[in-house]
Structure formats: structure tokens, C-alpha cells
Amino acid sequence: MVAREYADLLGALPLPALVIDREERIAASNTEARAVIGQGIEGRNFVTMLRQPALIDAVEGTLRDGQARTVPYLSNDGAQDTTFQVTVRTVDSLNVVLLCFIDVTHLERAVQMRRDFVANVSHELRTPLTALTGFIETLRGPAREDAAARERFLDIMDGEASRMNRLVGDLLSLSRVEADERVRPRGKVVLTDILASVLRTLTPLADEAGVVFETQFPDGPVTILGDADQLMQVFTNLVENAIKYGAAGGRVTVRIEVAERDPALRAPGVRVYVADDGPGIDAVHLPRLTERFYRADSHRSRALGGTGLGLAIVKHIVNRHRGRLRVESELGQGACFIVILPMDVPAA
Ligand code: ADP
């Protein structure tokens, strides 16, 4: 096979690949490989071009004994790191070694995310558990005969157990929502009824905080294709946050707007605005707000019994409905969460 044929063959491969001959030169490479290793590599000795010791050792080994090898290779194009698994194999009839670079960056990222998630969940569970264990010890020991202390501690323990319950409940919701994120919701739901029901359910919480609701709904029902239970959860989370984080004695406004053509969706859509007049959210937090366990004001969230999962659940449900979630806020100016939903859920 001549160099041109090698180049043709490598050109048809969908991943960076190159051929090294018995003279230890790079005999051919495809565009993808040159993007990773560099231009002008053909005809050059592979040791000077590949540089990373693990890969060089692997190629030398395979040239020597003909055994296939797989080694990691890290590259950086100046903007981001990419992790490859490089397969080093002989092509016996042509007496060359073929290197294929398999991009495993997304796999590594997924593994890292899972690791972080488990660490976060353990941390979140450990805090209430530690408190519970501590109080059990106190009740068995020093506070054994102290009825007043016992009542106080049992109240705190009740609170910590509820926190764990909420956390487990939110984790289960999140995993259910993730599981059917690709399934299109097909139910006909009356959005105005859902919002009215959410506000009814949350009225006691609002009363407790001295918060009043203001609604700006269009005349008549607004119907969309969606999953009623999940949409209920979206607006419960958003209105609950607006009550929790908004100003005590303030106002939570829920507005529904219908558009023939929503600019964000380029299709008929409904926008639901949930706005409060609380302290708002600093712009630095906005891009990360929907990450699991991300809290803009960690102290406040924990004091209010937040799990840090509410907005992550909202985001997944809105994604499932092929909608958008926007947050507009400035410190001191309140926060406004906008859910944009298509009237008719389009195919993925
Ligand atoms: P949490 O359980 O902590 O409330 P969420 O995922 O619902 O978790 O919200 C993430 C974070 O976003 C909260 O911890 C809070 O700091 C911030 N946040 C959410 N809604 C508001 C709001 N209306 N005003 C100010 N901050 C908010």
C-alpha cells in the first residue's frame, strides 16, 4: 500500500488515526489525527511527534512483539483537555502499526459526576444523621431525666428526620424525572388549573410567611400537552422558593402569558413567570443554580430546610417538555423564574 492509499483509508475513519511503519516513521495520518498531534507529522519519527512516554512505550512494544496495546493519551488544544484511549495494533499484511485515538472525555466526565454526586449525597445525609445520633446519646445520658430537654430534643430530631425524608424524596423524584426525560409527555393539561391548585396548596405556607399571592392569568383556561404531576412539581418548587427566599411580608406574583410564536421556542408557547420581591440572586450564581446541591445562599437554604435539588428537578421536567427555564435577578431586586413551555410538545 502506498502513502496515498493509507491516507485515503485513514480519511474514511471517523476518529483520529495514524500509521507507523517499520522505519518508525509516521507513514500517514488523517485530518483528525493532525488536529490532535500537529501538522507536518508525516515522514517524521513517531518518538519526536507523539512525545507522551506511555504512548511511545506502547508503540515500541507493539513494533517489537506484535501485541496489541491500549494506552491513555491526554491532549489540550489550548481551550480544553481531551482524554483519549489509544489502541496500538499491528496490520500484519502491511507490516505497519495502526494507532486509533478514541475520545473518552465524556465517559471520564460521567464517572467524575457520579463520584461527586455520591459524595454530595453522603455529605447531605451525614449532617442530619450526626445530629440524630448526638441527640440519641444525650437523651440516653445527661438529659435522661429532664422532661423539658427531652421535648426540645425530640422536636429537633423530628426536624432532622424530616430533612432526611425530604432529601430522599427529592432524590427519588430526580431519578424518576431523569428516567423518563426522553419520553414525550402526552397528557392534555390545563395549566391555569395547575397553577391555581399549586397556589391553593401553598397558601398556608404563604400565610405563615405573611406573603400574598398576586395572579395575572389570561381569561379562560390555557391548555398544553404535558405531564400534570410533573408540572405541578415544577410550579410548587418555584412558588415555594419564592415564598422561602422572598421578602417576609412580601408579594409573590404568578403571571401567565400565551404567545402565538414564542421567540425562545420559535413556536406557540406559554410563559409562566414566578416573581418575588426578596433579596434576589447575585449574577455569579445564575448559571449554576440548577445544578444538584448548588445553593446561592447555603446558610439560608439549610436553615429553611432546602435540599438543593428543587431547581435541578425543575430543569429536568422543563427539558422533558422541550421548554426553557430562565432566571432573571439582580441583588436586592427580587428574583423572577420564567418557565417557557411549548403549547404542543414537538418531537425530539
Ligand atoms: P433549595 O432546596 O436550597 O431551595 P433549590 O434547587 O430549590 O434548592 O434552589 C437552589 C438555590 O437557589 C437555593 O439554595 C437558593 O439559594 C437559590 N434560590 C432559589 N430560588 C430563589 C429565590 N426566589 N430567591 C433567591 N434565591 C433563590
Domain co-membership, 173 together with 284: no
Tell me the CA–centroid distance for residue 297 and ligand 1, in Å. 8
Residue 347 has pLDDT above 70, yes or no: no
Is-contact 122 144, C-beta < 8 A? no
**Percent of the chain residues past pLDDT 70, beyond the cut:** 99
Judge if 175 and 190 occupy the same domain: no
Mean pLDDT of 304-313: 93
Look at the block and give the residue holding cell 421548554: 323
Instruction: Say which amino acid occupies 173.
Output: S
Mutate to test the pocket of ligand 1, among 211, 301, 302, 328 (most ligand atoms within 8 A of CB): 301
- pLDDT tens for 95-126 read 999 999 999 999 999 999 999 999 999 999 99
Out of 180, 210, 239, a domain closes at 180
> What CATH number corresponds to the domain at position 82?
3.30.450.20
- In this structure, the answer to whether residues 256 and 118 fall within a common structural domain is no
Helix (H) or strand (E) segment spanning residue 187: strand 187-190
| In the predicted structure, residue 224 carries a pLDDT above the cut 50 | yes
pLDDT score, position 172: 95
Q: What is the pLDDT of residue 142?
A: 84
Looking at the 3D structure of the chain, how many domains does it have?
3
The predicted structure's pLDDT at residue 300: 87
CATH number at residue 175: 1.10.287.130
Q: Which of 103, 127, 160 is the last residue of a domain?
A: 103
Counting from 1 in the atom list of ligand 1, the atom nearest the Cα of 311 is: 6
Q: Are residues 209 and 300 in the same domain?
A: yes
Check residue 260 and report its DSSP letter: E
Q: State the alpha helices, DSSP H only, in the chain.
A: 3-11, 31-37, 46-50, 53-65, 105-140, 147-179, 191-209, 228-245, 298-303, 310-320
Q: Choose among 241, 248, 342: nearest CA to 290.
A: 241
Closest alpha carbon to 198 in 234, 166, 150, 146: 234
Q: What phi and psi values does residue 328 have, to the nearest 5 degrees? A: -120, 125
CA–centroid distance, 241 to ligand 1, in Å, is: 6
Shared domain check, 348 and 227: yes
Question: Vertex 304, ends 299 and 309: CA angle to 5°?
Answer: 85
Checking if the pLDDT of 179 tops 80, the result is yes
* Cell numbers 502513502: residue: 3
Q: What is the pLDDT of residues 47-76, one digit of tens each?
A: 999 989 999 999 999 999 999 999 999 998
Q: What is the pLDDT of residue 108?
A: 92
172: exposed, middle or buried (Cβ count in 10 Å: 0-12, 13-18, 19+): exposed
Q: Which of 136, 154, 180 is the last residue of a domain?
A: 180
Does residue 269 register a pLDDT over 60? yes
> Hey, what's the cell of 2?
502506498
- Here the CATH number for the domain that contains residue 188 is 3.30.565.10
pLDDT on residue 257: 96
Q: Are residues 97 and 213 in the same domain?
A: no
Same domain, 145 and 208: no
**Nearest-angstrom CA–CA distance, 47 and 57:** 9
Say whether both 277 and 159 belong to one domain.
no
Triad 325, 327, 333: Cα angle to 5°: 160
Residue 258 in contact with residue 251, Cβ under 8 Å?
no
- The b-or-e profile of 262-272 (16+ CB within 10 A means b, else e) is beebeeebbbb
**At 348, is the pLDDT very low, low, confident or very high (cuts 50, 70, 90)?**
very low
58 shares its domain with 117: no
Mean pLDDT, the chain, integer:
93
Closest ligand 1 atom to Cα of 278: 24
| For range 14-40, the mean pLDDT | 95
| Pocket of ligand 1 from Cβ distances under 6 Å | 237, 241-242, 245-246, 276, 278, 281, 289, 295-297, 301, 306-312, 335
C-alpha cell at 87: 489502541
Q: What is the mean pLDDT of residues 335-345?
A: 90
Range of the domain at 334: 184-348
Judging by DSSP bridges, how do beta strands 267-276 and 223-226 pair with one another?
unpaired
Task: Report the C-alpha gap between 201 and 345 in whole angstroms.
Answer: 27
Nearest to 217 by CA among 255, 191, 178: 255
> Would you state the pLDDT for residue 1?
65
Candidates 316, 138, 303, 299; CA nearest to 237 is 316
Same domain, 64 and 82: yes
Other CB atoms closer than 10 Å to residue 319's CB: what's the count?
A: 16
Within this chain, do residues 110 and 97 fall inside the same structural domain, yes or no? Answer: no
pTM: 0.81
Q: Looking at residue 121, what is its pLDDT?
A: 94
pLDDT at 247 over 90: no
Same structural domain, 332 and 193: yes
218: CB partners within 8 A, 6+ apart: 192, 256, 257, 258
* Ligand 1, atom nearest to 309 Cα: 6
